[in-house]
Amino acid sequence: MHATLPRLETTGFPAIRRKRLDTLQVNLGYKCNQTCVHCHVNAGPTRTEMMGRETISDVIAFLKASQVKILDLTGGAPELNSHFRGLVLAARNLGVHVMDRCNLTILEQPGQQDLAQFLAANASSGRTRLPPPSTA
C-alpha cells in the first residue's frame, strides 16, 4: 500500500474532517430470495451467513449510546434475518428512522405477507430517505 498522507501534505488539498455520524448502515446477512448478477455481496438463496443476536444487540447498544438518527438496513434481503423486526422495533423505540433496502419481491415470500404493514406501522421506508422522526 502506498502512503498517501505525505503526498497530500505537499499539495493544497484541504484537510479532511469527519463530521458527526448521522446514518449507520448495517448488512444483516447474505441470504436473499434472489440471485442477481449485479449483487455486490453475492447474496442469494443458498447463502447462510446472517448477523446473530449478539451483534444485533451491539447495534442497538450503539444506537442508544450515539446520536445516530438513521439506521440503513441492507443485506441480501435484510428481512430474512430472524432478528430484523426486533431491530426495527428497538431502533424506532429509540427515535431512530429506519431505512429498509427491500427488494420488494420479498413481500411475496412465505412468512413475509405482513412485511409491508409492519414497515408502515413502524414508519420505516423502503429505499426512501425520509426526515427522521421529530424529537419535540
At 63-116, the pLDDT tens digits run: 999 999 999 999 999 999 999 999 999 999 999 999 999 999 999 999 999 999
| Residues paired with residue 61 on neighbouring β-strands, in sequence order | none
Residues 16-39 have a mean pLDDT of: 93
Residue with cell 449478539: 54
Please report how the helices 53-65 and 84-93 are oriented relative to each other, as an axis angle in degrees rounded to 10.
10
* Full 3-state SS string of 70-129: EEEEECCCHHHCCCHHHHHHHHHHCCCEEEECCCCHHHHCCCCCCHHHHHHHCCCEECCC
For residues 42 and 1, what is the distance between their CA atoms, to the nearest angstrom?
Answer: 26
Question: Is pLDDT at 13 greater than 80 in this prediction?
Answer: no
- pLDDT, tens digit (0-9, with 9 covering 90-100), for 74-85: 999 999 999 999
Residue 125 has what pLDDT?
A: 52
**Burial group, residue 51, by CB count within 10 angstroms (0-12, 13-18, 19+):** buried
Model confidence pTM above 0.85? no
When pLDDT is cut at 50, 70 and 90, the band that residue 62 belongs to is very high
